[in-house]
Every structure is written in structure tokens, then in C-alpha cells.
Amino acid sequence: MIKTEVVIVGAGPAGLGCAALLKQMGIEDTELLVLEQGEIGETFLNWPESMRFITPSFPSNGYHQTDLNAITPDTSPAFSIGKEHLSGKEYAQYLTMVTEHYNIKVSTQTRLHSVVDLVDEEGFLLETDTLTIRCNFIIWAGGEFHTPNLSAFTGAALCNHNSQIKQWSDLAQGEYIVIGGYESGVDAAYNLANTGNKVTVLDFIGNNTESYDPSTVLSPYTAERLANLSELGQVELDDAFNVASVHKAGELYVVTSSCGKVLTSPFPPINCTGFDINLGPVSELFDYQANGYPSVNKFDESSKIRNLFLAGSRLYHDPTLLCFIYKFRGRFFAPCSVIGEELALDMSIFRHYKKSGMILNDLSCCVEQECFC
């Protein structure tokens, strides 16, 4: 049995961001372990080859304007990789650099099977393929890319989820239907059209002019690509087509709207409806809000179990969804402050994080901000 203080599940930006902060707070190597079921940055390694970050990276750290995609104040994907819109593999390379720089111990190819809250004792008991681990704190940063949403409409399993497509140019030429028109839907349409296909995008969302929250407004990068699509003349947008079902009739895939409208395609529709909330072996250790998101307190700690924390894109503090890296990185301090207090770590690094804009306390920031022009 391995005994340690803190186990972080997931070696993506959320997990490694929390780990790097704890290392800067002085946690001992024997007190911290990161578990990863694949490799460091596994989600990004599995991105389609042509997928790029919609948020730009720029090395402005010297002016206390931290790179939007950085997970610590003193690192920059743009500086280390030399790109503004990184690919998945390039971002995984950056995450590996962070891991090595902060000497973070990561156990890769380690799948977590079970987590038991030791009710009569302090801490948790974890079982993996090869390890039994006893710890006092868990930070769940397992991400969402491994659980595509296959229940958004009847017959969704007949579609190809956009996260499962490795290379758009490998698909046969023809006419495609893309279901879901937010960032990933536009990305799918853009790549399909650029390889000579005709595309119909259904349930197109477009820009939400009543919101300032980047979680509900198309990024400039995506809006620019959308403008380029209109010039190609190969993409049709239908925001009134609310998909109810998909079924197969002979060699055709039939997509039906809630009002009975029908479209067909010889190819499986591309499902761009996002991802399910799945916390794996800690699912039962969280309560859930009315919208399905895990319920956490002001320290991003499970409202059901002490010393179990949530980090990453599934953090939701009404009315703010912390779904982008530059949002959820502002919450790394929340679980780390509790752990730091318990382990008597040095929390002076928080001043640097605050100065760099990486401590987010005002959770209404994206809602109340108004841009006059």
C-alpha cells in the first residue's frame, strides 16, 4: 500500500495546475501523487489533428498578463511552443514541460477503479490496476473528453461524435450533417468544408448578444472561421432545426426535428453536442445541482464528503460555468488553500497568483461585465 497526503486524479491542465501550485507551496514529493489513466495531456493527445485552441496564447507574463492557456503564472504555451493557437499534441507537450519543471510525480497508464471514503477513519482508500493507495485528500480533475454525450437525442449513438474523429480528411467526400452549432460544431463544419464537403449545421447557436460570458458567446477565432465558411458557399446553417432523433433507413441516416422536418445523409451525422458529466469512481461522493453539475462549497469541495475537491471544466458556481482553462485555473487556489492549511504549507505564493490574475473569487465576473464597444 502507498500512503500519501494528496492524490490528484487527472494529468491535464486542471490536475497539473493544482499539483504545480502545491509544489510551489512546499508539499513534499512523498505527499503528492497524480494519477493518469493515459499519458500526460491524454485528452489533448486525442484531439483531431486539425483541432486548435480557440483562445490565443501570447507570452505577456512579463507584464503580469498571464498567457490565457497557461496553468501557472510563470509558464507560457506560446513562449515554449511558439504558437498562438496550439494543437492538442503541442499543448500536451507544454503540460509535460510543466510536469518536469515542477518535478510533479505522475503515475501514467494508471486507471482508478474505486474510491472508498473511510467513514470511521480519516481519508480515502483508492484501488487502481496495480496500486492500493491511502490518502487524506483527493482532487478530482478527470476532465470530460472521455465521456462524449451520446444521449442528447434519440439515436445519438448512430452518429460520429466529433471527439472520436482523428482526421477530418480521412472521411469520404459528400454531404454531411453536423448536429450542434457551437464551437465544436463550427470547427467540424469548417474542417469538412475545407476538404471539399457540403455541410448542413443543425441547432446552430451563433452569437448570444445578450451575454458577456465567453462560455455562451462564440470566440472571435470561431466567428472568423464562420465568416470564412459563408464565403465558401458549402455550408448551410439551420438554427430552427431542433434535432429529436436519428435513425437509419437502408443506406441513409435520417435526422428528424422536433416539428417533423426531415434531412438525410449517406454518412453518419457528426454529433457536436458536448460531453456528459461523469466523475467515475467518485460519482457517488458528490451531490448534484438541479442542472446536473456536481455540488461544491466555496472551496470547490464536495458538499457531501470532506476533503474531496473538484477542479476543471465541470466546476459550476451559479451563474458561472468555469469551462475554459483561463476560467478554472483561477480556482486552483481553492482546494490548495484547504490542503495548505491542514499540512501547514507556505501559502505566500498566492500573492503572486493573485497579482497574475489567477485567483478568482468574484464568480459573477463573466455575467456582470459589460463591454461598451
- For 82-127, write each residue's pLDDT tens digit: 999 999 999 999 999 999 999 999 999 999 999 999 987 889 999 9
| All structural domains of the chain | 2-146+276-368 (3.50.50.60), 156-271 (3.50.50.60)
- For 153-204, write each residue's pLDDT tens digit: 999 999 999 988 989 989 999 999 999 878 899 999 999 998 889 999 998 6
- β-strand pairing of 112-117 with 124-128: antiparallel
HSE-up of residue 237 (Cα within 13 Å, Cβ side): 17
Provide the pLDDT for residue 74.
94
Cis peptide before 13 (omega within 30 of 0): no
**CB 52 within 8 Å of CB 131:** no
Helix, strand, coil distribution of the chain in percent, nearest 5: 30, 25, 45
Provide the pLDDT for residue 208.
61
The Cα 10–Cα 330 span in angstroms is: 18
**CB 166 within 8 Å of CB 281:** no
Grid coordinates in use for 7? 492524490
pTM above 0.75, yes or no: yes
At what angle are helices 13-24 and 88-101 packed, to 10 degrees?
20
